[in-house]
Structure 1
């Protein structure tokens, strides 16, 4: 999804409201397909689950694609910036350790969109988890291993 915004421009107007639902998207550095490796994808998933289990977010749906991640959450504590810094830094350490490598995993910044009340959260969640089908990585969502939704 190309855009002409710098990461500083994305910060303008960013507001973290506890109890609000957000769609978050983050992309790997240079769009490297890091998560084609299932084990490395699971390391990111572990960080998403930890944030949920620790009460920082209520995780509604997510999908880890080869070079990016979409995550639909209800923010419970911390700010969006603190949440994403935590997810990206901890997953980077885990992935570099597992891959016996070093360096950046993630592009700077992330995209967030507050979900308006009139939007249907289940429709957004369905759109997220169908990403692998649209990308040609699976013909059925059950065939793709790196996704989840709270209704399943």
Structure 2
């Protein structure tokens, strides 16, 4: 079996539309459960916040699961490709330093779903935030440390 059996399903050459909402998912290399340590997840959160503060995107909701993340954003001043390249490279450097490792941290590629005009964003945010509940990681979302939504 290839090392990344579903990598061929990840699209290339995406179109990035400013003002459009996107649901983004990406996975840790070899699905290692790195974010089971919530402190490493907080290092990734800092990269999300930086992209938001730089006005590259409007971050609306996110959850960091043990081996992947989901992020609901609205593009502002950056393309999806540049955003994800920055998030993945910056977080790789920071997290690898924290755990004294080198090399790949993220799986190649990412999945995105463009949100259609007029489509309500709240169901996407609810889906994202409920991931730890569906995975059985917690009984109440308030008990999970790695999520946020702008509707709170």
- Tell me the TM-score normalised to structure 2 length: 0.93
Residue in 1 that maps onto 2:11: 10
1:67-88 deviation per Cα after TM superposition (whole angstroms, max 9, x unaligned): 0000000000121000000000
1:110-144 deviation per Cα after TM superposition (whole angstroms, max 9, x unaligned): 00110012432011101100000000001111010
Q: Is the contact between residue 7 and residue 109 of structure 2 (CA under 8 Å) also seen in structure 1?
A: no
Alignment of 1:24-39 (within 5 A): 24-39=24-39
3-state DSSP class of the match of 1:137?
coil
**Deviating runs (4+, > 4 A) in structure 1?**
2-5
Task: State how far apart, in whole Å, the 2-side matches of 1:55 and 1:87 are.
Answer: 14
Residue in 2 that maps onto 1:96: 96
| Cα drift, residue 91 of structure 1 | 0.3
3-state DSSP class of the match of 2:11?
helix
Change (3 A) 1:3 1:70: farther
Residue in 1 that maps onto 2:112: 112
**Is 1:66 paired with 2:66?**
yes
Q: Which runs of 5+ in 2 are unaligned?
A: none
Task: State how far apart, in whole Å, the 1-side matches of 2:101 and 2:7 are.
Answer: 30
- Tell me the TM-score normalised to structure 1 length: 0.93
**Is 1:147 paired with 2:130?**
no
Residue in 2 that maps onto 1:132: 132
Root mean square deviation of aligned Cα: 1.5
Task: State how far apart, in whole Å, the 2-side matches of 1:51 and 1:125 are.
Answer: 19
| Cα drift, residue 40 of structure 1 | 0.5
3-state DSSP class of the match of 1:11?
coil
Change (3 A) 1:28 1:138: same
| Cα drift, residue 3 of structure 1 | 7.4
